[in-house]
Structure 1
């Protein structure tokens, strides 16, 4: 516990202490000062130090603090704490904090958030915890959040913001502008006005720039775009992201099954979706669970990675069993044991290149039935060209190493076979898995690696056995 003198010195140091260094990293001494202020329950100093931080910086600070200090920081700041910062932290960190805070505190913070951020904050909590927090909210806010939480995970309904501006088609431009100026309960940022009928069905949208450039007496229905791109609340968030990308959208209205306007999705939500999906694909290619976080415990991470490593071990035994078929050949020519892993490894790397491009093309819908065969042929030719190139390189290297000309020819032929198989397998396996509705990002790697190992070992040792007459 700091005494009065220590607190005075801490305050003096804290004032003017920038949270980040010249490289943009969070300063360790700044984190230490904040931790000391929390331990001393110095609310005034905390407000001076972190009160003006951007929510992203505040979220990074929260992750840098010890777990027992995080809820204390929030409770000490009280109404001055921006709950948007909790959107910026790892899921496991956020869940631990929310479980430690009283439901009343969380409910008060949720009320200050946009509805999409509030849903994101609550969606990973247990149903009981969600209900306990929702019970603390006024009925209109409670009903809106509960409805959003009822939509499927990763759907537009979970991502949408229910705060929007909707007007009837009979209003004039002047009436609409006056409404925007005089109404306090409006979204912080909006890009277009939505036009709805008496039954709440979406009729169209009016962009803000067009609204402001039009004379006041003009009616809204003369300005609205009735063909405005809209999304269903049940649409998958990846489909929504592709819609935004394809049509260069900034915002899109969200409707229910009866075409009634229920929310809006904006570009900041879509950027988050694109980032999350890309990160998920990258992790899946490495056999890492999509929800693994840097803040997870050793046991959680080890348990999450174990099953996929076990599958890889089984396929590794399968590939190694090919070596057993040529045990006699390996005993008679040690050079084969030295060179065989080179062929398999080169094939694995080539397959990974093809597989990465294929999985990403499937995710972005750039690869489909219309162009699948053309791309397969192209990748096969790429594998053949690279196979020929590396056949020459490895053949010369093998000859220089072991001074056996025939060995260079053998490894060259094996390299051609394996790089061709790697290219075909790298695209064919993800396509087959996609057709079977299995995520190719998750399952492709182990199958492709097994194929390249088996083909690499079998082609090299098989050709060597035939060429040298080994038994």
Structure 2
């Protein structure tokens, strides 16, 4: 492995320690200040110098700036250029987009890059990639671009990639790489080391040697560390790892990522319906899925779609957000109907109009807190049938206690503010009711959606908001009508 490269001299801007790279929209506004520079991303000054070199079409300067950079950082640079600058960059840079860079580029602009690459450069790039990276690269491309990449592969690699593409999306078959290091189960450490030293086409990175029987069924694996530490005469079967867990080719990505995290796996063999070895999944792929799951949950909870990207255009972003804003509009209208029922009460006690948003806001925030915890717990499989009712009871008690605490505070505030003990009592009771209902809705709604097979992260927010608004307004205004009039 090469030593960490040195960055170009940025002394002209050294006085400003707050530099970070954030993805820029099409017109590339200046990155926001306020965050300390991240040691693992290109600095703001470096990005500015690269942009200046592109604008001035200074190839030598651009080459000098990019030469010491890691492939992942070059991919970041490409992503953060406008479409016009990317086109100039692709024609100006004397270096080539290799397989490592291509694998790092965000999928939202990857097809654009592929279309701009000369055929020979694209062929060289994909030949450097593992089969799982090639599958990840081409599965989102159109048919013509897919064929261009497949035609660039050797026959063996092409067959492996085409086979992976036949498996369902988000399955182990799509995640796995076909390059696997195996050894017969009867071999010794010495046999294996001699084989590895003599083999010319090993994967660039692998963590285990998988033991197979004569029918290519995986029966165990040996970590490289234990292999190198054992004596040559030691049978491989004596140093196999306890963590060995084959994964079915149709297993879902989320379950695989959970297994890697739960059992501290580094790699795992993938088997077909007949339990024959067909590939391997490594920890980097599993953790990437776990990261994507976290990102999807956050985006869905916010109602902005599960594939929203900072690279999206205005229209793409608009169409991702409109549907859930429309849902929220519908729930707001429903809450307004509840308010309309008590129109006379509000007109006679104007203070109710002032206090209503407080009840709804507190309920909404309480529901969101519980909802976030519940969705995350479901995603990580820590909320199960064995503990669900204990968690529901805990959230109900927490909601009740929160309601009592804030009921006391808000009751006193309303009493002093509007000089009315009864009004203070009404809002206090409404606060207790709404916060307890919000806590229950925050956990029961995602549980119900998960039970019927819907994604809790996608739809829970709208339902919880509706419940807290409707219950909050009805409890507050209904009590007010009964007590104050």
2:27 maps to which residue?
Answer: none
| Matched length | 456
Residue among 400, 405, 409 paired with 2:421:
405
Give secondary structure in 1 for the equivalent of 2:279: strand
State the Cα deviation string for residues 177-198 of structure 1 (Å, max 9, x = none): 1222232321222211011233
Residue among 103, 107, 126 paired with 1:110:
126
After TM superposition, give the deviation of residue 45 of structure 1 in Å: 4.2
Task: State how far apart, in whole Å, the 1-side matches of 2:242 and 2:363 are.
Answer: 54
Cα distance, 1:163–1:432 mapped onto 2, change above 3 Å = same
Matched, 1:444 2:443: no
Residue among 456, 475, 478 paired with 1:459:
475
Cα distance, 1:173–1:248 mapped onto 2, change above 3 Å = same
Cα distance, 1:19–1:322 mapped onto 2, change above 3 Å = farther
What are the residue-to-residue correspondences of 1:359-398 with 2, within 5 Å? 359-398=375-414
1:205 maps to which residue?
Answer: 221
Confirm or deny: 8 A CA contact 2:63 2:95 kept in the other structure: no
Give secondary structure in 2 for the equivalent of 1:206: strand
Residue among 251, 254, 257 paired with 1:241:
257
Cα distance, 1:293–1:223 mapped onto 2, change above 3 Å = same
What are the residue-to-residue correspondences of 1:30-429 with 2, within 5 Å? 30-35=46-51, 37-38=53-54, 44-71=60-87, 73-74=89-90, 80-225=96-241, 228-429=244-445
**TM-score, normalised on structure 2?**
0.88
State the Cα deviation string for residues 126-157 of structure 1 (Å, max 9, x = none): 23321222012210111111122222211122
Task: State how far apart, in whole Å, the 1-side matches of 2:411 and 2:150 are.
Answer: 69
Cα distance, 1:86–1:215 mapped onto 2, change above 3 Å = same
Which of structure 1's runs of 4+ aligned residues deviate more than 6 A? 18-21
Structure 1 runs not aligned, ≥5 long = 1-13
- Tell which deviates more after alignment, 36-45 or 459-468: 36-45
Task: State how far apart, in whole Å, the 1-side matches of 2:339 and 2:236 are.
Answer: 76
Cα distance, 1:19–1:301 mapped onto 2, change above 3 Å = farther
Confirm or deny: 8 A CA contact 1:90 1:293 kept in the other structure: no
After TM superposition, give the deviation of residue 162 of structure 1 in Å: 2.1
Confirm or deny: 8 A CA contact 2:243 2:265 kept in the other structure: no
- Tell which deviates more after alignment, 100-109 or 131-140: 100-109
- Tell which deviates more after alignment, 64-73 or 334-343: 64-73
Confirm or deny: 8 A CA contact 2:75 2:101 kept in the other structure: yes
After TM superposition, give the deviation of residue 81 of structure 1 in Å: 3.2
Confirm or deny: 8 A CA contact 1:159 1:269 kept in the other structure: yes
**TM-score, normalised on structure 1?**
0.91
Cα distance, 1:151–1:74 mapped onto 2, change above 3 Å = farther
Structure 2 runs not aligned, ≥5 long = 1-6, 18-36
Task: State how far apart, in whole Å, the 2-side matches of 1:340 and 1:226 are.
Answer: 59
Cα distance, 1:98–1:18 mapped onto 2, change above 3 Å = farther
Give secondary structure in 1 for the equivalent of 2:368: helix
After TM superposition, give the deviation of residue 67 of structure 1 in Å: 1.6
